[in-house]
Structure formats: C-alpha cells, structure tokens
Amino acid sequence: MNSIVLSDKFCIYKGEYNWEYSKKEFLKLIEFNHENTIHTNNNSAWIEIESPCFDSINKVIKDQIELITNRKIINYAKHNWVYTQRKDFNLEWMHQHLFVHPPGRSKILSDFTYTFYLQTTDEIQGDEGCIVFQDENKKKHKFLPQVGDIFLFPGDLRHTAIPTPNSHKERIVFAGSFCIDIFNQKNDSKSII
C-alpha cells in the first residue's frame, strides 16, 4: 500500500486487492448476508458470517497494520460491515469510527478503519462517488475509488462517501474497524461529533 500524507496528524494508505477471491464470490456472500441479517439502517449491514473471502481482506489489512505500526497483532478486535449506496440515496455525513463496534455494542477503541471497493459506478457527476477525508485543519481530501481499491486510515479521521443518487448501479463497499491491542488501547479522550 502507498502512504498518502494528508496533514501533520493524518496519513492514509491506498492499495489494491490481489483478487485471491473473485468479485463474484464476494458479491454472492454479500447478497446472502443482506438476506439473512437484520439491517441497522437502509444502507449498511453488519457482516455476521465468516468466509475465506472476507478473511482474505482482513489478512491484507492486518498485514498492512503490522507494517505501519511495526507491531505484531495478537489480541485484537475487529468489526466488519457492508455499505451499499443505491439509486436515490442522497445522504452524506462526516463521521469517525472511534469504536470498533457501533456505540452501544462495545467500548473497544478503534485504531484503524478500512474500505474495500467491490463495486463502483461510472454514472457520476462532479465529486459523486468520492471518499472524502477531513483533516484536523478541516481541509478536505477527495479520492475517487475504483473496483479493488483499499483505503486504510486512522479510526478518528473524519470521512464521508459522496452519494451517487442518479446511478442505476449500486456502490458496494466491504469495510471494517480494528483495535490492534485490546489490552493497550489508546488513551485519547475523544467525543463523537
């Protein structure tokens, strides 16, 4: 993965999946997960199944985190979900993943979040389809992901996905958060905004 410095505080990493498993295999599992999981909102579903496909992405992420931090990940926590943007969805919000799980599910702090793009669309105008990061100086950094792209970034980095409301093709992202050491979590005092 390539490092991209956004500011004095934030650096993100961008790479590509090696397609150990095919897009078709991922989408089959995601469809099964969507059909058999209680959704918490209209565009996201937690991953409640285990599969070598999903394991392959988490291995890429774990390996990269170990390189970045120069630490072996042993006692860790993770949470995965699928984020889907459908036609007419037109909501964006800057947010962070301060905890590995959504608030109310656990209090384990997140070190890193990632996004893996399984499906994108060409039916875009302007900044539609971009992932946007906002650094500590409120400067925005925009990237237009392609199928196979992986972005890895600090859990406290504010970000959003700009919708593609006129696209007939769904944007599908497999995402997750990691705490790299459950017994030595970072002690930053943070608030969710």
State the number of CA atoms in the 13 A half-sphere of 142 facing the CB: 8
- Inter-helix orientation angle 52-69/23-35, to 10°: 110
State the number of CA atoms in the 13 A half-sphere of 147 facing the CB: 14
pLDDT at 187 over 60: no
Length of the chain: 193
Contact 61, 148 (CB under 8 A): no
| Per-residue pLDDT reduced to its tens digit, 39-84 | 666 677 888 889 999 999 999 999 999 999 999 999 999 999 998 8
- How does residue 190 score in pLDDT terms, banded at 50, 70 and 90? very low
Contact 129, 172 (CB under 8 A): no
Q: How far apart are CA 61 and CA 82, in angstroms?
A: 16
Phi and psi torsions of 183, nearest 5°: -90, -10
Q: What is the per-residue DSSP string for 33-63?
A: HHHTS--SSSSEEE-----HHHHHHHHHHHH
Percent of the chain past pLDDT 90, that is, above it, reads 74
Q: How far apart are CA 62 and CA 59, in angstroms?
A: 5
Structural domains in the chain, sorted by start: 11-179 (2.60.120.620)
pLDDT at 36 over 70: yes
pLDDT at 21 over 80: yes
| Per-residue pLDDT reduced to its tens digit, 141-163 | 999 999 999 999 999 999 999 99
